A and B are shown apart, each in its own frame.
Chain A
């Protein structure tokens, strides 16, 4: 009840005309930033901080603006994933798998509207979770040491078969490539450079945004060049279809959204896991539950709803450790944290007592932003799909140039641009060879964490491997990982005929 009263107070703080206006601007800019390849939520928030400073905003309005941008970017990432098969940022990666096939089938509008609703459900429930479960969840987050994180990332990898393409060996190649790329740079645990060839640009490792934009966006441009003038690859011909979600589709996906929200929220709460892991596990979980033959990967609505509910829920979850502990659960919350510090507010265990106005104003703003985003995103679906009507000869050069500037604007580095072109060419060749690109990115994002946490755990235990199953939590995750790895095989063997029947009907 206490939380409800505080929340009501928060709404009183947040519901002023100025704050609503800022939330609107933030949602709008955030959606655009999320949709632009190369700019994700963390960069989006970071580049808008100067704007908040320039406007001379006090703490609460500034935070409202920036969290609206944050939520907006999480919504926006899906747009380019679905329409162009280019993830706007890394949490939207999984949305390409079924979102783009839906668009190719002429269901772009439905995919956008459905994912918009899934995003809404995910972040709405996550924000509720933030209000009521924060203190409890913080305790859970603290249970995760290096050993538990290692088990968690292994769990994610064990289910990688779930996203595989037709050829398992090729998705293995892709994952290994990603893992290899993740190793480039100075090794965290010993301080020695690995695979940098003495090049200072590689000391920090490969920025995964460069890899994503290169692999997806640049290779897409090259594919269009190859197919210039051929009818079937020109999106100008794509039927726009309806721009709302049929009720039947919502009925079929609501359970998916709820499950994905739960998984995503938990992944978000853990500092060191994050939105990408949330949407990934949400997707593979749904795919596993549906069994083979459910059409995942070929434009299945559940495959769109799951990652979007998952990554938006993770965005809300990541605020739990940030607000309650002062520890960022993701890159974006790290930037928000820095922003709070600059505004003379120290997040941490005492934040709720010391600055209740800010905290509850912020949480109220999250609810407001969320409703605003839904209201903004559903009518705009009709506008977004019109992007597909832009002739390829103008759209694709625009996409290429936005990709370049997205990377250059953040890093200011020509080397990053060249790196991105290399990824683009590689992405083109790999696509021609039917090697899936998603496991490469997952390899970069997750593999790095897997190695780091394993080595941290072994450092702590002086090389004693039993630390890896030294707690009940670790054992529970290992059990899940083993089940997650074996279940598709077992289900594939025994349940497949039944699933096929239901699909056939």
Chain B
């Protein structure tokens, strides 16, 4: 079933790709092949491969239970929140929170997790900012 969904998705994506290709506006200057030829070929390949998978799917992969899926969704949510909050919270605080959460969910204790988060955050800050001199998000406290 999973593979059938994948095949169907590829077909839909190929169709979407074709539709967007027709929307590409060409200007007066265009090369002999044009900007649309490759997208059409790729959509074709994607569609055919999708059809094949749809027709002859592999055995079902073992998906995690609902609980674990929620776990993964939450982690993705935390990462998104991290990305969005990074500029306003500053690098060290945001990273300590993000890393702490992941440590906790991967099995660190309630005391170890925030500590590990802080250590990871400071370690990365030391390497990337102090040694390599990359500018990381500054945040309200300047780090």
Residues of A that sit less than 8 Å from B by CB: 29, 32-33, 47-48, 50-51, 167, 169-170, 172-173, 175-177, 179-180, 183, 187, 189-192, 194-195, 218, 221-222, 224-226, 228-229, 392-394, 396-398, 400-402, 404-406, 408-410, 412, 414, 417-418, 421, 424-425, 428, 432-435, 447, 451, 454-455, 458-459, 462-463
- Chain B residue nearest to A403 (CB atoms) is B79
By the criterion CB–CB under 8 Å, are B121 and A190 in contact? no
- Chain B residue nearest to A463 (CB atoms) is B32
List 11 extra interface pairs beyond A29-B131, A459-B32, CB under 8 A. Answer: A173-B53, A179-B42, A180-B42, A183-B42, A191-B29, A221-B102, A229-B107, A434-B58, A455-B33, A458-B33, A463-B32
A and B contact pairs by CB, cutoff 8 A, 17 listed: A29-B132, A47-B132, A172-B45, A173-B6, A176-B49, A179-B38, A190-B35, A225-B75, A405-B95, A406-B128, A409-B132, A414-B87, A418-B84, A421-B76, A447-B42, A454-B33, A463-B32
- Chain B residue nearest to A410 (CB atoms) is B134
Residues of B that sit less than 8 Å from A by CB: 2-3, 6, 10, 13, 17, 20, 24-27, 29-35, 38-39, 42-43, 45-46, 48-50, 52-53, 56, 58, 61, 63-64, 68, 71-72, 75-76, 79-80, 82-84, 86-87, 91, 95, 98-100, 102-103, 105-108, 116-117, 120-121, 123-124, 127-128, 131-137
Query: What A residues does B132 contact at CB under 8 A?
Result: 29, 33, 47-48, 409
Contact with A47, one of B35, B58, B71, B134 (Cβ below 8 angstroms): B134
Q: A183-B38, A195-B20 are in contact. Are A226 and B68 (CB under 8 A)?
A: yes
Query: What A residues does B102 contact at CB under 8 A?
Result: 221, 396-397, 400
Interface SS of chain B: helix, strand, loop or mixed? helix
By the criterion CB–CB under 8 Å, are B86 and A414 in contact? yes
By the criterion CB–CB under 8 Å, are A433 and B26 in contact? no
- Chain A residue nearest to B106 (CB atoms) is A393
Interface SS of chain A: helix, strand, loop or mixed? helix
By the criterion CB–CB under 8 Å, are B103 and A225 in contact? no
Q: In the complex, A225 Cα to B64 Cα: how many Å?
A: 10
Q: In the complex, A408 Cα to B76 Cα: how many Å?
A: 17
Q: In the complex, A421 Cα to B87 Cα: how many Å?
A: 17
Query: What B residues does A191 contact at CB under 8 A?
Result: 27, 29
By the criterion CB–CB under 8 Å, are A396 and B106 in contact? yes
Query: What A residues does B31 contact at CB under 8 A?
Result: 189-190, 455, 458-459
Q: Residue among A180, A401, A414 with the most chain B CB within 10 A?
A: A401
Q: In the complex, A402 Cα to B91 Cα: how many Å?
A: 12
Q: A176-B45, A183-B42 are in contact. Are A397 and B87 (CB under 8 A)?
A: no
Contact with B42, one of A176, A392, A396 (Cβ below 8 angstroms): A176
Question: Chain B's nearest CB lies how many Å from the CB of A202?
Answer: 12
Query: What B residues does A195 contact at CB under 8 A?
Result: 17, 20, 39
Query: What A residues does B56 contact at CB under 8 A?
Result: 169
Q: In the complex, A177 Cα to B98 Cα: how many Å?
A: 30
Question: Chain B's nearest CB lies how many Å from the CB of A414?
Answer: 5
Query: What A residues does B82 contact at CB under 8 A?
Result: 404, 417
Query: What B residues does A404 contact at CB under 8 A?
Result: 79, 82-83, 86, 95, 98
Query: What B residues does A447 contact at CB under 8 A?
Result: 42
- Chain A residue nearest to B2 (CB atoms) is A433
Query: What B residues does A32 contact at CB under 8 A?
Result: 127
By the criterion CB–CB under 8 Å, are B33 and A433 in contact? no
Q: A180-B17, A194-B24, A434-B58 are in contact. Are A421 and B79 (CB under 8 A)?
A: yes
Question: Chain B's nearest CB lies how many Å from the CB of A80?
Answer: 15
Contact with B46, one of A180, A409, A435 (Cβ below 8 angstroms): A180
